[in-house]
Amino acid sequence: MRIDVISIFPAYLDALQLSLAGKAQSSGLLQIATHDLREFTHDRHHSVDDTPYGGGAGMVMKPQPWGEALDALTSDEAVVVVPTPSGTPFTQRIAERLSGEQHLVFACGRYEGIDQRVIDEAGARWRVEEISLGDFVLNGGEVAALAIIEAVVRLVPGFMGNPASLVEESHGADNLLEYPVYTKPASWRGRDVPGVLLSGNHAAIAAWRREQAVERTRQRRPELLD
Ligand code: 6GU
């Protein structure tokens, strides 16, 4: 998979070169490149924003640099991902779908957003997905792109050291939150690990974990049980 990220703060994306993502890049499974939007400007001040037509607070990102950046970086097979609080809520299902793509281009906006014509034109030429991380507001799309990329990349076959750890996690196929987990020692600060986990009875352990997952989901995310 190839991932290109366009931003006026490409240093935000430096974390992608660390850890698991860094390993996958050296193995050739994944190529991630970041691009400074200002390199696609032509004026002396490298301006990327301007005042909104119709008035109002804040600034809007200009179409010219975005148009040229997307022209230069987006392949015919690419999905253009636009992180925005007005997008479709991101889910594990979307991460699974994106993990099967050959090429993702992330367009990280700042300020009040990107001129709508950029999104409209991109949508006429490529597949475009406007995605939100949830009902809260970040200053820009960079942190959201990091989160989306991490969720997607760990699903690319061969990326995870131990693919079994993908099987039982929260938001898997059964739509339940994950059950609580414990490790040694069996007693810590007067708190004991639930006895069933020490019993060696695998059927009882599986039943207890399922019950814990359902109860946790009922308390924290009841809408997932419907
Ligand atoms: Cl994807 N972008 C921004 N700027 N804010 C957000 C978000 C995305 N998701 C939640 N808040």
Q: Is 106 annotated as a binding residue?
A: no
Ligand 1 centroid from CA 148, angstroms = 11
- Cα dihedral sign, 80-85-88-94: positive
pLDDT digits (tens, 9 = 90+) for 35-72: 999 999 999 999 999 999 999 999 999 999 999 999 99
The residue whose C-alpha atom lies closest to atom 7 belonging to ligand 1 is 85
Element housing 22 (H / E): helix 19-26
On whether 58 is known to bind a ligand per the annotation, the reply is: no
The whole-number pLDDT of residue 97 equals 98
ipTM of the complex: 0.95
- Annotated binding residue at 159? no
The CA 206 to ligand 1 mean position distance, Å, reads: 37
Residue of 129, 137, 142 best suited for mutating to test ligand 1, as the one with most atoms within 8 Å of CB: 137
Q: Which fold has domain 164-224?
A: Trp Operon Repressor; Chain A (1.10.1270)
Q: Which atom of ligand 1 is nearest to the CA of 133?
A: 9
Closest alpha carbon to 132 in 171, 94, 172: 94
User: Average pLDDT of 203-210?
Assistant: 98
CA atoms lying within 13 Å on the CB side of residue 216: 15
pTM of the model: 0.94
Joined tokens for residue 191: 């708190």
pLDDT confidence of 19, banded at 50, 70, 90?
low
Mean pLDDT of the chain: 94
Superfamily of domain 2-161 in CATH is SPOUT methyltransferase, trefoil knot domain (3.40.1280.10)
Residues of the chain with pLDDT > 70: what percent?
95
What pLDDT sits at residue 30? 93
Known binding residue 16? Answer is: no
- How deeply is 30 buried, as exposed, middle or buried, from its count of CB atoms within 10 A (0-12, 13-18, 19+)? buried
Q: Any residues with Cβ below 6 Å from ligand 1, and which?
A: 83-85, 87, 131-134, 136-138, 140-141, 144
Distance (angstroms) between ligand 1 centre and the Cα of 42 equals 29
d(CA 128, CA 141): 15
CA-based nearest residue to 173, from 190, 153, 189, 155? 155
The yes-or-no verdict on residue 23 having pLDDT over 80 is no
Q: Name the residue ranges covered by the structural domains of the chain.
A: 2-161, 164-224
Distant-in-sequence, close-in-space partners of 217: CB < 8 Å, separation ≥ 6: 175, 176, 177, 224, 225
Q: Phi, psi (5° rounding) for residue 197?
A: -70, -15
- Output phi, psi for 215, to 5 deg: -65, -40
